[in-house]
Amino acid sequence: MQFNHANFAVADVRAAAEFFTRHFDFAVVGKAHDNFVVLAGEGGFVLNFMATGRAEASYHKNFHIGFFVGSVAEVRLKHAELVAAAYGPGEVQQFSRGGSRTTTFYCTAPGDFLVEVATTAAD
């Protein structure tokens, strides 16, 4: 069994799709609609975004999806990119996670859930 996709309910499907296509190299599969879009990412992972309709979705403050990159420099470059795009990511942090040193930051994506960019690579 393989984990295949994640579906997020968001107020603005187009804004969520643009965030992930522009900044995380996802590609739209088929035709994007105002109420639903399918995005394919590296390794075949799929993100779906669907309109919330009348009720707003609410994600737990610690709920997030994560992306690992190969170096601290890549973490810092992605952070700078998201700052320049006015997404207001949190500061880059370094800490130990299960014995490995991690360099990471979090950013709130359109749809009000967190995205983490991290590496366990050394400087």
Q: Please compute the mean of the pLDDT values over residues 102-119 and round it to a whole number.
A: 95
pLDDT class for 102, splitting at 50, 70, 90?
Answer: very high
pTM of the predicted structure, to 2 decimals? 0.90
Residue 32 has pLDDT above 90, yes or no: no
Specify which residues 97 forms β-bridges with: 100
Q: Is 115 helix (H, G, I), strand (E, B) or coil?
A: strand
Tens of pLDDT, residues 41-99 = 988 889 999 998 766 788 898 899 999 999 999 999 999 999 999 999 999 999 887 77
3-state helix, strand, coil in the chain (%, to 5): 25, 40, 40
- Full set of structural domains in the chain with CATH: 1-53 (3.30.720.120), 61-123 (3.10.180.10)
- The chain-wide mean pLDDT, for the chain, equals 92
Percent of the chain with pLDDT over 90: 70
